[in-house]
Amino acid sequence: MSLPDLMNQAEQLSLQGQMLAAIELYRAWLDQCKLDPMRFVALFNYGTLLGAAKQSQEAVTAYREALQLKPGLLQARLNLGHQLELLGQLDEALLQWQQVVRELDISPKPDIALQLHALNNLVRALELARRYDEAEAYMVRSLQVEPDQSAVLQHYVHIRQKQCKWPVYQPIGDVTINRQLLSTSALAMLAAYDDPALQLLAARQFVHEKTQAPVPRKPRRVRQAGERIRIGYLSGDLCMHAVGLLTVELFELHDRSRFEVFGFCWSNDDGSPLRERLIKAFDHHVRIGHLSDEQAAQVIEACGIDILVDLQGLTSGARPNILMQRPAGAVQISYLGLPGTSALPTVDYIVADDFVFPPELEPFMTEKPLRLPRCYQVSDRQRDVGPPLTRASCGLPEDKFVFAAFNNNYKITPEVFATWMRILTQVPDSVLWLMADNRWSEQNLRDQAKVQGIDPARLIFAGRAFPAEYMARLALPDLFLDTLPYNAGTTANDILWMGTPILTCSGKTYISRMCGSLLTAVGLPDLITFSLAEYECKAVQLGRNPKRIASHKRYLDEHRRDSELFDMPQLVRELEHALSDALQRP
């Protein structure tokens, strides 16, 4: 059989869904035609079929032989990298893609599409491996080749936020700062600007680029007399994740005489006790990770869901096209996952309260507020807390005032960090305890401290810890300092549960008012400020007056568990009432 005949027959078999037969055909030809001068073409096609059939090791062998025969076959080298990555051989995969880039760099007429493919593979893999500096360098190279790459720009902005590389927005060749701003992801924008219009713009851009057109609303399900309301929760974070940690007791406390509770889930099966507890909390736990968005929507529709609560929003792993299909005509509600507008036209409401969603925010939210009377945020009163820790065991001084800020490093802005440095200047016998996300952010923050006249040794960085130990750490500082515009949410809930006060600055956006909502509900509204100047002044006053801190801690010790913030049975009843009310609205 000639090579063209082989390729034609194999293609026909593949089109008929007979992938394995096509593979066997190539294998037989390769066994028989070892000296054919075009053998490398057959090996390349054979490797492609093997990769599609998830036979990565065999595909690697095929691509390596093809490259021995034709070293300049860069598409084979590119594909070889993919298969090596799937086999867990990341460093070897990176070498293959770097070789593609090097060869195209010296080519008089480089294949731009191939060059971008290789560069962006390097970007993606290095970012996932948390090798942020290398990933950023390849992003810059990719953007110099082709400036009009919104997806690369999104990652460029966020990776600089993660490293605390300021200013975040820097010109790159023909890529202006304005272009970077317009390409900033919805999540990155929440941390960048306390501007509801910019946050809406970023969300709308996501919807424009990554979602399908919404389907018309379907008729709502007609419930029989006495039939329970069916609530479906939609999430990829029902595991050891902030959303899973907050919601587990909510699912457990739903009134089963009135509600039937479904969990539609594509979460990581992390094997944690929390994951097991979450699964048990649902009447029906439905895995949809293996389904397409269309199939998942059909499953939800078949379950007859009355109210679909999206716990994901536009965050990592989001599947907004499920919501764009309006499964079963359900009322669709955003909650917790994205503390801001999603701009999804098929999401009707966002769970809120009067503090976190003031009336002046309504023009910038595509969702209507579904207001709870006290606090929007649920929590878990059974969270795991480890044995008490000492300051010494965590590298903290026993005799100094300990400020702490445990929000993720990408939420720290230059303005907030400068405020923290001024606070340390005015409270000289103090230190700042921070979360160590990565070595670049740690070094950059130390460098910034030095620039602002603060001894870098006064910044103490804590590594990651298991949840129980993490919770125990939260009892050690004197005062937590919140970030703006991306407030602490789950972190603030944990901090207050452990009896430590947190000072916040509330802004103009939903996300910048989360901590203020929690402080109001726990009974400490005096720890809410409304400008960074006021925030700085209050932090200095508290840092110089440990007796006031002791008073706040005493209050939390005596009253927090009975406060409106942690009265979960009542909060769940209020949420159920709001959900039922939404179902009755036109």
Walk along the chain (586 residues) in steps of 10 and give the mean pLDDT of each run.
92 93 95 92 96 96 97 97 97 98 94 97 97 98 96 96 96 93 95 98 95 91 90 96 96 98 96 96 97 96 96 93 92 96 97 98 98 97 96 96 97 98 98 96 98 98 93 98 97 98 98 98 98 98 97 97 97 97 89
Can you point out the beta strands (E) in 117-272? 229-235, 259-265
Tokens describing residue 199? 């946050």
- What is the reported pLDDT for 586? 78
With beta carbons less than 8 A apart as the criterion, state whether 44 and 66 touch.
Answer: yes
- Name which of 65, 104, 64 is nearest 81 in CA terms: 64
- CA distances to 285, 335, 409, 421, 430 from 435, in Å: 34, 26, 7, 16, 17
Paired with 308 in beta bridges are 232, 332
Tell me the C-alpha distance between 252 and 111, whole Å.
56
Give the other-Cβ count within 10 Å of 188's Cβ. Answer: 23
With beta carbons less than 8 A apart as the criterion, state whether 267 and 337 touch.
Answer: no
- What is the reported pLDDT for 464? 87
Tell me the C-alpha distance between 140 and 165, whole Å.
14
Give the other-Cβ count within 10 Å of 68's Cβ. Answer: 10
End-to-end CA distance of the chain: 68
With beta carbons less than 8 A apart as the criterion, state whether 392 and 369 touch.
Answer: no
With beta carbons less than 8 A apart as the criterion, state whether 69 and 36 touch.
Answer: no
- What is the reported pLDDT for 61? 97
With beta carbons less than 8 A apart as the criterion, state whether 445 and 412 touch.
Answer: yes
Tokens describing residue 64? 């390596």
Tell me the C-alpha distance between 93 and 79, whole Å.
9
HSE-CB of 382 using CA atoms within 13 angstroms: 11
